[in-house]
A and B are shown apart, each in its own frame.
Chain A
Amino acid sequence: MLYVVITFLWTSILLYLLLGGADYGAGIIELFTSRRNKEITRKTLYSAIGPIWEANHMWLIIAIVILFVGFPVIYSMMSVYLHIPLTIMLLGIIARGTAFTFRHYDAVVDDMQHIYNTIFAISSFITPFFLGIIAGSAVSGHIDPKADTFLSAYIFSWLHWFAVAVGLFTVSICGFLASVYLIGEADDDQSRLRFAHKAQFFNIAAVICGILVFIAAYLENVPLMEWVFGNWVGRIAIISATLSLVWMWYLLYQGKIKLLRVLAGFQVTMILLTTTYRHFPNIVILKGGGYLSLMEHAGQEKTMQSLGLALLIGSVFILPALFYLIYSFQKNPLKYSERH
């Protein structure tokens, strides 16, 4: 059952990165769109993610519940040492979720829209940035349980170049996922072209940020090179991701929407796989070489059993409903253009 639970944990993190990431990315795109095109971008974005955005963010809740039920020591350790970035991320989640809903459901359309839009776009950037910081900090070896000053315990645990680079990398991946997704949701060729350009832009940004991550890892003594290239899984994943990237660039202007989405999802999956595979089952790496392992810190057997069962039963209900939701609200130009 332990492996079932761990599989669910990894899968919900992946799905959050893909679906939640694309969701955040839509806001990031809005931030990086010229004023002239903002309105049309907003419209596409709304029709694309309106019905599914709440569901996209449920994966975070599933992941956090798995963590605090199944691996409480890891959850509370991260909560203590990463308190500040977690709090900022939470404020981002509050701001973004409410601004997105308010701007659509406000009965009167006036200057308030401008405020909602600004809050939405900025928090769409900040939230995944701090999610990346949290993920980067967890494995960077900067969390120090023996720290005795406020700065070393609660600030330098997350404020370092590696975490910041991972944060930027996460943001660019979100933007990339969203632009690829939105190509298929746009109403006309011109918008499709614009999103294809955006996909290129964020793709280049992701490559640059990726290089920054490696440089920062080198500076901060994070053995990232070894994690990624030190084993066959990592090497194969990175090579196939890179090859699929070339293929994707070739396809970008050919309107093969489904294939494009699959490739983008594949690349992100491979990135998550390489970065988690090598140090599995240690998901938090501490200063001085200690680590928190999913194996050693799992809850007692009965807890894991009931958690695994709850997850299995839950997925029987959730997955078909979710697929039907996504399927039902896929782009259907004839019907959709008249709505809202």
Chain B
Amino acid sequence: MNDFIAARSQMALSLGFHIVFSCIGMVMPFFMAVAHYMWLKTDRAVYKNVTKAWSKGVAIFFATGAVSGTVLSFELGLLWPEFMKHAGPIFGMPFSLEGTAFFIEAIALGFFLYGWDRFNKWFHWFTGVIVGVSGLASGILVVAANAWMNSPAGFDFADGKYLNIDPVKAMFNDAWFSQALHMTIAAFVATGFAVAGIHALMILKGKNVLFHTRSFQIAAIFGCAAALVQPFSGDISAKDVARRQPAKLAAMEAHFHTERSASLIVGGIPDEENKKVDYALKLPGFLSFLAHGDFKSEVKGLDQIPAENHPPVAITHYAFQIMVGMGTAMMLISALYFTALWKKKKWLESKWLLRLFVAATPLGFIAVEAGWTVTEVGRQPWIINGIMRTADAVTPMPGIAYSFYLFTAVYVSLACVVVFMLYRQIKMVGKLYDKPQS
């Protein structure tokens, strides 16, 4: 494995690992806040038990997310020193604010986790809300920094020099809003479906049914509501990418030739050599509509972009298909769930709906990973779109492959331990949180 590929793989691994924990860390506090609120209002013990059980999970995920995030702030320099040398002062604003948000989150979490029966109950509840709000702010700020790499702004680039730096303009670059919106909603979808799926499984198994039903409801409502709005934010993102990064859009859609009334390509196997897609379903005009809101408009294909600036087409295309596929599946499940809530109460007691949720447990996180792959791989070969190539940013130190193997081993074992601990948490629900009244 050459050093450049190793550095990219290590970065992908670290971010792919961190993204799961940060999504859970920023969304779960809101689920907890709802359960906690219900307990304070209704005084029904089950809500307190749910809050406490969830808070244990959050502590585990937050700690893992915090350390993997710390690692990332160093890895940026360890793997991409040339990038950070120039980019740091420009896109640093969201990072310096994120430092504050993350700090507040850690403080609030201390209050929340250890504050049971110590503080005024509403103050205690409020600290839980602060955990969520500052976590959300952290997420948005980090995504704004990533958006800058897609849509560099706030400086003039001349003769290889970065002049007239304006960090505020850099933060509010063209892509920050669409990316932050899409990612935030995605975090709610992914966490909502993952949590709902686990609790659905426990209901089906007939264990602590009331406890798991209440948990399921909170998670499912959040997840499903988010899944229903996500297509709209996806549309904003698609139009934005079409405008700013035609190469990325072309790769997402394996759109090789510039044309009017371009077809939307669903599935298929891109053949990069012969510039065609085999076995795909083609919907004529739909790509033009998605990209520009007009069935007849022209969509730039890869043929208009110099070959050395092409992103890897197959990976980007597959990842995009996976993301959209998972998103659609979850949207349909959500539609069923809300129909059940409003019109068909009987469905709520049926097993098939719960089974559907169990099956959908991993879909949200698969979609998150796939969507993130689209953003990052679709930007290649650039680390700063149109300004600096990823290959020029990599560290001169040889032997990065070993570092990659090491981090892979660490993150794989860490993931195993977290899953193992989660399994134990769930297994112990009946003994620790939802005790039979004595």
Look across to chain B and name the residue whose beta carbon is closest to the beta carbon of A322: B107
Look across to chain A and name the residue whose beta carbon is closest to the beta carbon of B425: A107
Look across to chain B and name the residue whose beta carbon is closest to the beta carbon of A305: B167
Contact B114–A79 (Cβ < 8 Å): no
Contact B70–A83 (Cβ < 8 Å): no
Q: Could you tell me the distance between the alpha carbons of A322 and B118 in the complex, rounded to whole angstroms?
A: 17
Q: Could you tell me the distance between the alpha carbons of A325 and B68 in the complex, rounded to whole angstroms?
A: 24
Q: Could you tell me the distance between the alpha carbons of A306 and B166 in the complex, rounded to whole angstroms?
A: 9
Contact A91–B63 (Cβ < 8 Å): no
Min C-beta distance of B437 to chain A, whole Å:
21
Partner of A317, one of B73, B104, B114: B104
Contact B92–A68 (Cβ < 8 Å): yes
Total interface residues in chain A, CB < 8 Å: 61
Contact A61–B73 (Cβ < 8 Å): yes
Q: Could you tell me the distance between the alpha carbons of A70 and B427 in the complex, rounded to whole angstroms?
A: 48
Task: List the A side residues contacting B81 at CB < 8 Å.
Answer: 76-77, 79-80
Partner of A93, one of B70, B104, B421: B70
Q: Could you tell me the distance between the alpha carbons of A300 and B106 in the complex, rounded to whole angstroms?
A: 31
Partner of B406, one of A91, A154, A306: A91
Task: List the B side residues contacting A328 at CB < 8 Å.
Answer: 111, 115, 118-119
Q: B403 at interface (Cβ–Cβ under 8 A)?
A: yes
Min C-beta distance of A58 to chain B, whole Å:
4
Contact A90–B70 (Cβ < 8 Å): yes
Binds A, one of B30-38, B192-200, B304-312, B391-399: B391-399
Min C-beta distance of A51 to chain B, whole Å:
4
Contact B106–A55 (Cβ < 8 Å): yes
Contact with A along B161-185 (1 / 0, CB 8 A): 0000111100000000000000000
Min C-beta distance of B340 to chain A, whole Å:
32
Min C-beta distance of B93 to chain A, whole Å:
5
Q: B279 at interface (Cβ–Cβ under 8 A)?
A: no
Q: A68-B73, A72-B87 are in contact. List 20 more A-B contacts (CB 8 A).
A: A52-B110, A57-B66, A61-B99, A65-B96, A66-B96, A69-B93, A70-B92, A75-B85, A79-B74, A79-B78, A83-B78, A87-B406, A98-B414, A102-B417, A107-B421, A299-B165, A302-B165, A303-B90, A314-B103, A318-B107
Binding site for B on A (CB under 8 A): 50-52, 54-55, 57-58, 60-62, 64-66, 68-70, 72-73, 75-80, 83, 86-87, 90-91, 93-94, 97-98, 100-102, 105-108, 150, 153-154, 299-300, 302-303, 306-307, 310-311, 313-314, 317-318, 321-322, 325, 328-329, 335
**A-B contact list, 13 entries, CB within 8 Å:** A54-B62, A57-B70, A65-B98, A75-B77, A79-B395, A83-B403, A91-B410, A97-B67, A303-B89, A306-B168, A307-B96, A307-B167, A325-B111
